[in-house]
Structure 1
Amino acid sequence: MQFKQIVGQAAIKQRLINSVTENRVSHAQLFLGPEGSGSLALAIAYAQYLSCLDKQADDSCGECSSCRKYQKLAHPDLHFSYPFFAKHKDDTAVTFIEQWRDAFLAWPYLNLDIWRGYLEAENKQANINIAECHQIIKKLSFKPFESEYKIIILWLPEYLDKEGNALLKIIEEPQPNTLFLLVAQNQDQILNTILSRTQLIKVPALTYEDIKAELINHRHQTESAAAEIAYLSNGNLTDALLMLQQDNKSYHTLFVQWLRLCFGNKGIELVAFVDGLAKMGRENQKNFIRYGISFIRECCLLIAGAGELVHLPATELETAQKLTAIMNLDMNEAITSELEKAHYHVERNANPKILFLDVSLQIMSFLKLKTSPQGNQYISN
């Protein structure tokens, strides 16, 4: 993995390169960024740069023997630790290393759900067990084999329970030229004893423009499709790439049609529309609702006179401006609340036809009858 293969994050890339050229490489670093920001890919690209035999000014060479091994995640001085779904108490990350390589090489913006799909996870909980902690200590007790550094990349240290305290000594006093690169999403879930021993590198979510450009330039999406997916992904490239695999209709067109049917009190047409939503599949239903939440929030900005903060494609902005003539902040807040509850229940396998019909009636009452929001109960399958 080279820096040039990672979307955006120019400032972080430069900071990492500077730490090497200025000989300021900390032995324990925590890459902290939200899902889909590229923090794992950045850690691997950084490790490759550190080990490259012909470092360039802005990237590893990609051609030396070290880089070629890194590109297969098979360098003898590169080690990985990650949550897994243990079948036996002695299982460690090494047990699943082939699946790990396959998963990352296919999905550099890997998340836990995608990783689960590469394993026979069944209903097991992911964790990093005590056997893995002992394996890490054993691996790092030796000197580097052929590179200047021996590097371990620990993905999602949030899944280290109290067993993680076994790593404290080796993190604080590692062997010479041994580096810990931790990659996390939630700082609050990391053991404080580990957190206090690392140098923090905050990785921000990707920008709308970064994701849109990636979808157009490398994923062969049209301008309008890229704009909608980039907007809906909310800075998460993993979500954006997953959306490409789904049978997407235009969420904007569908959502505005839904609002119009609700406002017009089109009972029979609304029931038929809800039938269509119920057949979309759960992931598309979740994305549709998420789009609606984001779109309504943009309408709120317009109503509040903060149009300069609105980030909508031109056609969607025009629609939002028209909708603000019949909507107010209270209505928008009520609709957003209903959509958030609907998203929660879709994730928990609610009956989609009943759910969307109930939400439709609620939206209809907000838009047409101007009533206050009421609590809902959805019936699960």
Structure 2
Amino acid sequence: MRRFEDIVGQEQLRDHLENAVKLGKVSHAYLINGERSSGKEFIAKIFAQALQCENRQGADPCGECHSCVQAESGNHPDIIFLTHEKPNVISVEDIRTQINNDMAIKPYSGKWKIYIVNEAEKMTVQAQNALLKTLEEPPEYGVILLLASNVNALLPTILSRCVQLNMKPVRDAQVKDYLMKTMQIPDYKADICVAFARGNVGKAKLLASSEEFDKVKEEAVSLLRNIQDMEIHEIVTAIKKITEYKLDINDYLDILSIWYRDVLLFKATHDANHLIFREEIQYIRKVADTSTYEGIETIIEELEKSKQRLNANVNFDLTMELLLLTIKEN
């Protein structure tokens, strides 16, 4: 059963929602803003379930009443998740049929009718304007939860009518503690997941439980061990293989970045205790001994540039060839 205490490292946001439930001071529109996979939907579900709970103790849902059982199974008639057929677009028709028209009907069983809009930044301008009409005059039972990872894509008029709750990066120690205690992730693997997650608990959880992540990490490390002895076409083939996985290419580039940060750290300190890839110390020492500080820093900078190029839809093969040439030269 989900409780507010299960929200890790977002104390200010959690307290706001808990107090709204306890005091009955619920706004008609909330915007939860945070990175992709950071747990926005998890938070929205706890809040929605707590609002609908029939036997709430304090702010937390009881987990046992009919409403909680429905919410836990995803079948609560008054907790509605907006869906859209086009993967990258929430259309005006989606908003009209699933929110505007539906909200005119009173709740079936609960006190509230709650609408959860994931990836709200995908709403077209027309869709946002349609939603605006409902936000301006919502019925007393209507609550809309917009979940977004890019608030810049939302109209100022939408933002002005929502209570904005911004998720913050969680401390590494807190994320590691969560992975080890809640998910029983071993120390070494937890360190790697924390390094990649960069304060994003949801991403850390995904990586910790992903078999694909382990495979991609092993392939990346294998490439880094042997890159100096490989021809460019061999390296490009190895990189292309990564696109067969569902993992984001940025996560792959992060693996390379963290490896070279370890190289830089070891070159400066000759101490393996603080390395993320400390099990690879034999290879890290070899690269550190044969590379200059400037060369390693150039590689790390080029990795960040490669991310930016790929996010801007620059040709994948060209981006990777530039990156790999930079790595081999430095």
Give the TM-score taking structure 2 as reference length. 0.77
Structure 1 counterpart of 2:57: 56
Distance 1:322 1:188, change over 3 A: same
Task: Report whether the alignment pairs 1:130 with 2:131.
Answer: no
| Rounded Cα–Cα distance in structure 1 between residues aligned with 2:111 and 2:19 | 17
| Rounded Cα–Cα distance in structure 2 between residues aligned with 1:254 and 1:129 | 39
Say whether the 8 Å CA contact 1:29–1:181 is kept in structure 2.
yes
Structure 1 counterpart of 2:3: 3
Structure 1 counterpart of 2:260: 296
- Report how far residue 188 of structure 1 moved: 0.2
Structure 1 counterpart of 2:166: 202
Distance 1:134 1:247, change over 3 A: closer
Structure 2 counterpart of 1:335: 299
**What does the per-residue CA deviation read over 1:99-135, in whole Å, with 9 as the maximum and x for residues that have no partner?**
xxxxxxxxxxxxxxxxxxxxxxxxxx53222222222
Say whether the 8 Å CA contact 2:81–2:116 is kept in structure 1.
yes
Structure 1 counterpart of 2:136: 172
| Rounded Cα–Cα distance in structure 2 between residues aligned with 1:253 and 1:158 | 34
Name stretches of at least 5 consecutive residues in structure 2 with no aligned partner: none
Structure 2 counterpart of 1:142: 105
Structure 1 counterpart of 2:206: 241
- Report how far residue 297 of structure 1 moved: 4.7
- Report how far residue 24 of structure 1 moved: 2.6
Name stretches of at least 5 consecutive residues in structure 1 with no aligned partner: 86-124, 367-381
| Rounded Cα–Cα distance in structure 2 between residues aligned with 1:315 and 1:184 | 36
Say whether the 8 Å CA contact 1:277–1:285 is kept in structure 2.
no
| Rounded Cα–Cα distance in structure 2 between residues aligned with 1:206 and 1:348 | 32
Q: What CA RMSD, in Å, does the superposition of the two structures yield over aligned residues?
A: 4.0
Say whether the 8 Å CA contact 1:34–1:204 is kept in structure 2.
no
Say whether the 8 Å CA contact 1:144–1:177 is kept in structure 2.
yes
Amino acid at match of 1:8: V
| Rounded Cα–Cα distance in structure 2 between residues aligned with 1:147 and 1:127 | 30
SS in 1 for 2:206: helix
SS in 2 for 1:152: strand
| Rounded Cα–Cα distance in structure 1 between residues aligned with 2:280 and 2:4 | 33
Note the 1:1-381 alignment, pairs <5 A: 2-3=2-3, 6=6, 8-11=8-11, 12-57=13-58, 59-85=60-86, 125-135=87-97, 136-163=99-126, 164-236=128-200, 237-238=202-203, 241=206, 244-246=210-212, 248-249=214-215, 251=217, 255=221, 267=229, 274=235, 277-278=238-239, 280-282=241-243, 283=245, 286=249, 287-297=251-261, 312-313=275-276, 315=278, 330-340=294-304, 350=316, 355=320, 359-366=323-330
